[in-house]
A and B are shown apart, each in its own frame.
Chain A
Amino acid sequence: MGDMLSTGVTGLLAFQTALDTISNNISNVNTPGYSEETANLVTNPATPTNNGWIGNGVSVSDVTRSYSNFLDAQTQAATSSYNQFNTVSGLASSINNMFSDPSTGLSATLQSFSQAIQSMANAPSQSSSRQAVLNQAQAVISQFQSYQNNLNQLGGQVNTQIQSEASTISSLAQNIASLNQSIMAAQSNGTGQPPNSLLDQRNTLIDQLSQDVGVSTVTQSDGSVSVFIGSGQALVVGTQAATLSATPDQFNSGQLDFSLSSGKTTTDITSQLSGGSLGGLLQFRSQQLIPGQNALGQAAVTLTSLLNTQNEAGLDQNGNIGAALMAVGGPLVLTSQTNTGNASVTAAVSNLGALTTSNYYLQYNGTNWNLIDTASGAATALTASTAGGVTTLTGAGLTLTVTGTAQAGDQFLVEPTGNAVSGLSLLTTDPAKIAAAGPLVTAAASTNTGSASIASATVPNTAAWTRGNYTLSFTSPTAYTVTDATGATVQSGAYVAGTPISFNGINVTLNGTPAAGDSFTVDDNATGTGDNTNALQLANILNVKVLNGGAESLSGAVNAYVGTVGLQTSQAQNGATAQQSVMQSAQSAQQSVSGVNLDQEAANMLQFQQAYQAAAQVIATSDTLFNSLITAINYVG
């Protein structure tokens, strides 16, 4: 009888534990990171008797959680990936929205500028039409600056988020390390039972970490979990957590990088990090923000260069050779703080056709200089020449001048156009300074008898032009003389049909055949306020194919940039949507193992409730049996 009672009691206790576990499951149905727990029942060892092995009831061996390492890791990877895409998508949308209206964007503003110049070409002597050109130029500058400000604000936002990511990750690492300690202590306290709630907490923290950065974990035999980020940088090892901090990059370019400190060593691990919202921030910065700033800068540099060159080729309303109309910021070269040499580098744009939207590392390996694209890591061809201790490097459309002595390993950050827009400004407020007129006006003498006419008279470089009125006379169809206004001979020579006649910076090309005695005047157009020749050239600068080695015009490049923004944004948005489904299905796979199902708990509860009632009935029956025995004894007695 005693056995029956104690066996019944084991049932009661075991079922009570099972019901406790079920009630805990029900209570935690909505707790994030909670894994469904199960009380595992085992049969107590039976007692051998002559009549056979008599069972001794049941007991709870342990309470385990439903958990899959594999599914958990999968969920974390999907979460990291989704957060990276989602972060890029959110930030990229900000750039995307800047270009949402095709009729007010940079492309349209540049077009208006070109049209203002065309209107000026219709009435070049009118100062109101000239003023309109300056106003439109200012509008173009403002448009550039407004885009640049938006991008700079995004850069600031990225820096702020980098700081908050660094501190979030560091504090998660601390918490994981201290949970590692608790779990190790709980596992070694002798019961050998798994500390389920601590394990769940640690998983939750690692899940949270996976939102911020891509993680991989390794469970050690002592129960601790080592956490690695990026390409294998240890964030948590046992009870030791490293600190991730946001630090200025080695060039002090205003960008924040990530440094990992464990013990005494601090390492910049920015380039190794990926995944999570942190990976998204870095991806956005290197693939969209910097190229975006550089693309705007490239457009500004191109506009300024073409506009100034063309204006310098003509004559302004006062009859003077045109001067530069716009200023633009030059390339930036930033020196690494880790450089050991004393070399300093300056840069200037030398070839618009080779100018890119990338930033570069200029590295010295002890013998050679290399120019490395910061985003792709690809090397760009560099030609070097040294004279008088100054090394001149040419590549990527830039001329880099190195003075001083560099040591192997020294490097510089070169931003070809990133600084351009901030230096963009109008150099004049005087509408007369726009060079609408061409430098020359030509005429054939009315007495000419030959068939020759002037096809073109140009001044390729106004700086090399000796101004004045010249007469080109032919003493025979094959001999010419150029005289100046005083009648002095400037030049004479043999005329070869089709070959330009060049003198004092002027090139004259003739059509037809001159006759002896024919003459042409090639005059300084100083009073030509009605001439629009140069204005028409100015209006055409948007369509001059100078970029990409002469394959793309300024207006094409600006449009292409908008296309790139749209493409990158839609890729990020589509990626985020796709990764969201991946993450959701990973989560539901993980939850299908670890989640609590209330219907299941209800059924289990019923099951154990009935078993408990049965076990209680066993005890009651045992009591009845005992009572009937006592009664029988009393009756006999």
Chain B
Amino acid sequence: MRISTSMLNQSAVNGIMQDETALSQTQNQLSTGKSVNTPADNPVAMVQLLQLDNTSSQYQQYVTNGQSANTNLTLEEQALSTSTTTLQSIRDLVVQANSGANSTSDLKDIATQINALESQLLGTANSQNAQGDYLFAGYSVGAQPFVRGSNGSVSYVGDSGTSSVPIDGGTSVQTGDPGSAVFMNVPSGNGTFTTAATAANTGTGVIDAGSVTDAATWTTAQNAVPGPYTINFTDASDYTVTDSAGNTVATGTYNSSQGGNIAFDGIEVGLSGAPAAGDTFTVAPAGTQSVFNTLDNLVGALNGAGSSSASRAQLSSTLNESLQQIDGALGQVSTVTSNVGSRISLISSVNSSLSGQSTTVQTQISNLSSLDYAAATSQYSQEYVALQAAEQSYAAIDQLSLFKYL
């Protein structure tokens, strides 16, 4: 092909310019260390990078969420632990009061101590976090959840809401428990039924908290005739148990020197002491009671205890019942504590799996966007040599002209 002189120059210059463009692109990659510098460099990789960047920062957010939940749960755990200690101290005092060797003033002292511990427990139930949010208020974190009303009883004005935060793609963790689930709805009595000695009893019979021997029979009996039973001593050794409809469900004899169990409808209660003729004891299906209500009743009973043996027997029955309820409260707090503990350990195990996932994502990001320095450097050398060759050959060809020889 015939080459015009200006084209000879032009195509040499075009070639040099193309080589320079390629060299500058490779140089840019080498200086940024990235193979994808704009979306046009690799549109597919760029979209993946955007998604991976989002995923990576979402993982960081999950870690943050976990830390925040952990902070709340740790605070809750501390409050629950304090509550357990307080309830345990109260329990010790109840046992002490029930030992039988206390004077009326001793009982009043114990009542005062229990009262102080109850206030402490109330304070714990109204704990706040660093932001001033109440820990045990459900959703209504802005208002004190446990309030002692004008009638002297403590009521829960929070709600039963529970907040959760996501700590991983599919895992959420509850960040707290409403006070109603911790301090309020404690099953009364032994959880199935409550026992009580009637206040007008004149004997020294003491009823314990009883136990369930056959849950199915109890449920069937309650479904048939719901409501409380009355154990009525017709004389010091004979008793009749009637249900709420007045049907006799059991009769028997009782030996006051040995004490003994009275069994009916799948449960049994233990009696000790000597009931008088006409004394009655009630066994009622358990409802729920707030721990504060229990303690208020306990303090009332201790303060009101007389010195007569009948009065002491009455107190003893109440203390037996209170012990059961405090144990119930301790059990409820312990269940919540163990839930909180397992949430905290869930957060920590999710966190460690998150850091693994996060590393995977970072590796993917790096695979997509990082420059293969070996390949890029070798490409750079090739392009450099090509440019050099183009320049040298142009300079050489440019020397050639027939006019030189004329």
Question: Is B138 part of the binding interface, using a Cβ–Cβ cutoff of 8 Å?
Answer: yes
Nearest residue, chain B, Cβ from A447 = B287
B 99-143 to A, binary, CB cutoff 8 A, 1 in contact else 0 = 000000000000000000000000000000001010001111111
Partner of B159, one of A123, A525, A565: A525
* Across-interface contacts of B161 in A (CB, < 8 A): 441, 525, 528, 530-531
Looking at the complex, which one of A555, A563, A591 makes contact with B43 (CB distance below 8 Å)?
A563
Q: Does B406 contact A (CB under 8 A)?
A: yes
Residue-wise interface mask of A (562-598) relative to B, using a CB-CB cutoff of 8 A (1 in contact, 0 not): 1111110110010000000000100110011111111
In the bound complex, do residue A591 and residue B4 qualify as a contact, i.e. CB atoms below 8 Å apart? yes
The residues of B that contact A123 with a CB separation of less than 8 Å are 68, 131, 133
**Residue-wise interface mask of A (97-130) relative to B, using a CB-CB cutoff of 8 A (1 in contact, 0 not):** 1011011010110011001001101111110000
CA distance A559 to B48 in the complex (A): 8
Q: State whether B139 touches A437 (Cβ < 8 A).
A: yes
Which B residue's beta carbon lies closest to that of A600?
Answer: B2
* Known pairs A108-B53, A125-B131, A563-B46; A100 contacts B61 (CB<8 A): no
A259 adjacent to chain B (CB < 8 Å) = no
A531 to B11, CA, bound (A): 72
Report yes or no: B46 in contact with A29, Cβ–Cβ below 8 A.
no
Interface residues of B in 274-315 (CB under 8 A from A): 287-288
Partner of B5, one of A99, A598, A606: A598
Any B CB within 8 A of the CB of A427:
no
Question: Distance in Å from the Cβ of B328 to the closest Cβ of chain A?
Answer: 13
**Considering residues A115, A530, A591, A606, which has the most beta carbons from chain B within 10 angstroms of its beta carbon?**
A530
Whether A122 and B69, one on each chain, are in contact in the complex, defined by CB atoms closer than 8 angstroms, is: yes
Q: Identify which of B7, B54, B143, B166 contacts A588 (C-beta below 8 A).
A: B7
Flag if B57 contacts A115 (CB, 8 Å).
yes
Q: Is the CB of B163 within 8 A of A533?
A: yes
CB distance from B129 to the nearest CB of A (A): 9
Whether B50 sits at the interface, judged by CB under 8 Å, is yes
> Are the CB atoms of A599 and B40 closer together than 8 Å?
no
- Are the CB atoms of A446 and B39 closer together than 8 Å? no
Query: Are A96 and B160 in touch, CB under 8 angstroms?
Result: no
Q: B64 within 8 Å of A by Cβ?
A: yes
Least Cβ–Cβ distance between B343 and chain A, in angstroms: 14
A431-454 CB contacts (< 8 Å) to partner B: 437, 441-443, 446-447
Among B49, B51, B141, chain A packs the most CB atoms within 10 A around the CB of B141
Contacts of B288 in A (CB 8 A): 446-447
Output the nearest chain A residue to B1 by Cβ-Cβ distance: A592
Interface centre among A99, A560, A573 (most CB of B within 10 A): A99
Q: Which residues of A contact B65 (CB under 8 A)?
A: 118-119, 121-122
Say whether, besides A555-B54, A566-B46, A528 and B138 are in contact (CB < 8 Å): yes
Q: Hey, what's the 0/1 contact readout for B145-169 against A, CB within 8 Å counting as 1?
A: 0000000000000011101111000
- In the complex, what residues of A have CB within 8 A of residue B68's CB? 119, 122-123
CB within 8 Å of A: which B22-73 residues? 37-44, 46-47, 49-51, 53-54, 57-58, 60-61, 64-65, 68-69
Q: How far is the CB of B144 from chain A (nearest CB, A)?
A: 12
CB distance from B44 to the nearest CB of A (A): 7
The verdict on B253 contacting chain A, using a C-beta distance below 8 Å, is: no
In the assembled complex, the Cα of A592 lies from the Cα of B406 at a distance in Å of: 25
B29 smallest CB distance to A (angstroms): 13
Contact in complex: A598, B403 (CB < 8 Å): yes
- B399 CB within 8 Å of chain A: no
Interface secondary structure of A, over-half rule: helix
Cβ contact within 8 Å between A569 and B5: no
A528 lies within 8 A of B139 (CB): yes
Chain A: CB-nearest residue to B172? A536
Measured CB to CB, the nearest residue on chain B to A444 is B160
B374 CB to closest chain A CB, in angstroms?
A: 24
Q: Is the CB of B180 within 8 A of A443?
A: yes
Q: A602 at interface (Cβ–Cβ under 8 A)?
A: yes
Q: Which residues of A contact B401 (CB under 8 A)?
A: 598-599, 602
With A441-B139, A532-B163, A569-B38 as contacts: A29 and B6 at CB distance below 8 Å: yes
Bound complex: CA A555 to CA B54 (Å):
9
Nearest to B176 among chain A residues (CB) is A530
User: Does A107 contact B41, Cβ atoms closer than 8 Å?
Assistant: no
Please state if B5 and A118 are interface contacts (CB–CB under 8 Å). no
Q: Which residue of B lies closest to A32 (CB)?
A: B6
Q: A93 within 8 Å of B by Cβ? A: yes
Interface assignment of A552: CB less than 8 Å from any CB of chain B: no
**0/1 string, A533-576, CB within 8 A of B gives 1:** 10010000000000000000001001110111111011001000
Let me know if A570 and B40 touch, CB within 8 A.
yes
User: Chain A: which residue is nearest B129 at the CB level?
Assistant: A123
Q: Does A523 contact B (CB under 8 A)?
A: yes
A527 touches B4 (CB 8 A): no
Is A531's CB under 8 angstroms from B139's CB? yes
B42, B137, B161 — most chain A CB neighbours (10 Å): B161
Report 9 cross-chain contacts, Cβ distance below 8 Å, ordered by A residue.
A107-B53, A125-B141, A528-B138, A530-B176, A566-B47, A570-B41, A584-B11, A595-B3, A597-B2
Residues of A within 8 A of B (CB): 29-30, 36, 92-93, 96-97, 99-100, 102-103, 105, 107-108, 111-112, 115, 118-119, 121-126, 437, 441-443, 446-447, 523, 525, 527-533, 536, 555, 558-560, 562-567, 569-570, 573, 584, 587-588, 591-600, 602-603, 606
Given contacts A559-B51, A592-B1, A595-B2, 14 further A-B contacts (CB under 8 A): A93-B40, A99-B46, A103-B53, A111-B57, A115-B61, A122-B165, A124-B163, A126-B131, A446-B185, A528-B139, A566-B40, A591-B4, A596-B5, A599-B5
